[in-house]
Structure 1
Amino acid sequence: MDNYQQPPAHPGSNGYGHNPGQEVSPVISVKEWMLMTLVMIIPIVNIIMMFVWAFGEGNPTKKNYFKASLLWAAIIIAIYAVVFIIVIAAAASTSFS
């Protein structure tokens, strides 16, 4: 075993997170990636499609990607909201003094 290999997690496993009998999700084609990227450029439609692809039926890899994208979007919106509240509070405090 070289330095880059890890021992199998359990008997019957090949050590790379895949068991021989385990079902594998299909690969997302370049055509699908191009279509998803095109849809993500369209305002409003992109938000709706992120929810559809994240929580609808389909490829588990695509679902996980869009769930992660929605989580990042929620984090960024929360940061923007905090910054907006701080700026408004600062502006309000300077206008009353």
Structure 2
Amino acid sequence: MKLPYIAIAATLIILAIAIALYRFPRLEVTRDFRPTDFDISRDSIWKYPHLWLGALAIFIYVGAEVSVGSFLAKYLADPAIGGLSLQKAAQLVTLYWAA
């Protein structure tokens, strides 16, 4: 069980070293940057329905996805639905999560 984690860690370390050694092109700034150029407003989140409705939609989507994954094995094992053994149904749930 250690081998996959060692492989992932080694890959990430190699990627980090490659990024650290890469010479990114220097970007020329077109004008002087002054933090005061940006108006920092203290608006309420409730004034932006796309923002809070989007966050709510993501929350509901993740809840639905986890619920489906949680109940899928029992659903497939139901004799009236799939009639699979619980072990075989659990293997199919792995395919659901992989997809």
Q: Tell me the TM-score normalised to structure 1 length.
A: 0.37
Structure number having the greater helix percentage:
2
Compare CA radii of gyration and give the structure with the larger one.
2
